[in-house]
Amino acid sequence: MAQCFNPFASASLNYWFLFLDDGVYLPENAISEFLKEGKEIMGGWYQNEGSSVWNVLKEEKNGHFSFFTKPEKGTIEVGALGLGCLMIHRPTLEKMEFNPGFENTSLIDGITQKGEPFPQMGDSIAFSFSAKKIDQKIFMIGNVVCGPESNKL
């Protein structure tokens, strides 16, 4: 784990926040890839254990969202991202007004789990909407692919 955070030694720690869920492991290259890209809001690709989709949504032209079914290469702009692997520039975070929860799951195509709404993405979408209110774009970094700890064993 220390290898993941060594690049922070050369970066100013008080300018970046890293959010990482306890069920997601961070690959060794993650911090250096995030710092190299230098986007205001950027995430790494990850799945919830047992899921067939990635916790990233693309925004469709009709205003709906849909899940990515595989990580994309390179750095791409996305509609919303999961908060389980997220790096954000501190000044950007300080500008945001965050109200947790997003109830309008009808805008998300395929956001069901056993026929029920898939609630795990609610706060992530609310966060993404808050970012868009201050004209911030959201990016996924193709070289950062995380996973559940069980995948690393």
Per-residue pLDDT of 78-91, as tens digits, reads 988 888 899 999 89
Q: Is 105 helix (H, G, I), strand (E, B) or coil?
A: helix
Per-residue pLDDT of 1-27, as tens digits, reads 444 444 544 455 568 889 988 888 889
Can you list the alpha helix ranges (DSSP code H) found in 6-121? 30-37, 90-95
Per-residue pLDDT of 79-126, as tens digits, reads 888 888 999 998 998 898 876 665 555 555 444 444 444 445 667 777
Q: Which residues contact 85 (CB under 8 A, 6 or more apart)?
A: 19, 20, 21, 24, 26, 30, 43, 44, 45, 46, 144, 146
